[in-house]
Amino acid sequence: MADEYPELDANVIRAREGDAFFVCAGNRLLRFPRGPIQTSELHFGVLTAAARGEPVPYSPVFPVRRKENSPYSFITLGRTSNCDLPVPDESVSKLHAILRVDEGGVRVQDAGSRNGTEVNGEAVLARSSDSVPIEPGSRLRFGSVAMIYVDAEGLLALLASKRRGSTNEWNITPTTGGARQPGDPKRLVIVDDSRTQRALLGDALRDEGFEVFDVEHPFDAVAAVEECDPDLVLVDFLMPTQNGGALCQDLKEANPNRNVWLISALDASDLAALKEAYGADDCADKAAGTEHLVEKVKEALGS
């Protein structure tokens, strides 16, 4: 399929694959293998194969369309291979969601799934009358699998960003970035939906010589962390779009050796319970203040 996309153009993508795509953004980062592509799915790796002759990070991309032999007028998403959009994740039900596409755009309806469907952090009900419209940039979650809805232009923009090696599509704000070198400062990633909290903690850590990246949306955190490869990830426990504990589990699933701390204003006994429940390497008391947290990080990382 790589040869089918010698040049990147939104019209080519639209003609071949349509104008609606779900891009996995949260808890999976795959690797594009060397050698022939034996798949009918559209991937960043496929699209970049001609330009990047090496393994690169990419996220699965699902064209939102019915299979040719589908007996239904709607599009199905679920864990089984006979769904129009098969998402092989244990948190996704066999038939998880139903999508309807018409001149008005795309609408999402839960299909009575076990772990639920969300659009922009809001639960979607399992009734056709309660289907939710989505637009480019909408963030969806099927079980624990997070996706972003984009059109062909949006897909091209994400792809161009990846080809440049940029991490901006993950909402990362770096201080320096780039490949790690011996003697470089310790690197951290802060995941917090509060811009103020990210700025306060990030600036305090930078003042101590750390290299700091911050991520606003937990949907983006796993891919962002894999790209940054930090020495420590600080995750706020209370975020509106995803529980920080669940994100900690996603990060650990992607890399069991990843050093992840949960940050919360809970008391000491509750912090210990969080650490145990979600498999965090440590927990930090947000209520103790930024200075306390910075000292704890310095002690842990030997800075």
> What pLDDT score was predicted for residue 27?
37
The DSSP element (H or E) to which 270 belongs, if any, is: helix 268-278
pLDDT one-digit tens code per residue, 143-176: 878 888 988 888 877 665 544 444 434 444 444 4
> What pLDDT score was predicted for residue 264?
86
**pTM assigned to the model:** 0.50
- What percentage of residues in the chain have a pLDDT greater than 90? 27
What are the residue ranges spanned by the domains of the chain? 10-161, 187-301
Q: What's the order of all strands across the beta sheet hosting 97-102? A: 85-86, 75-78, 97-102, 105-110, 132-134
Residue 49 tokens read as 């194969």
Architecture of the 187-301 domain: 3-Layer(aba) Sandwich (3.40)
Q: What is the mean pLDDT of residues 32-57?
A: 37
* Measured CA distances, 269 to 172, 243, 266, 273, 296 (Å): 32, 19, 8, 6, 18
CB distance 152 to 20 below 8 Å: no
Residue 227 contacts by C-beta under 8 Å, 6 or more apart in sequence? Answer: 57, 167, 170, 172
Distance separating alpha carbons of residues 93 and 117, to the nearest angstrom: 10
**pLDDT at position 195 over 50:** yes
DSSP 8-state class, residue 219:
G
Query: What's the CATH fold of domain 10-161?
Result: Tumour Suppressor Smad4 (2.60.200)
pLDDT one-digit tens code per residue, 26-38: 434 333 333 333 3
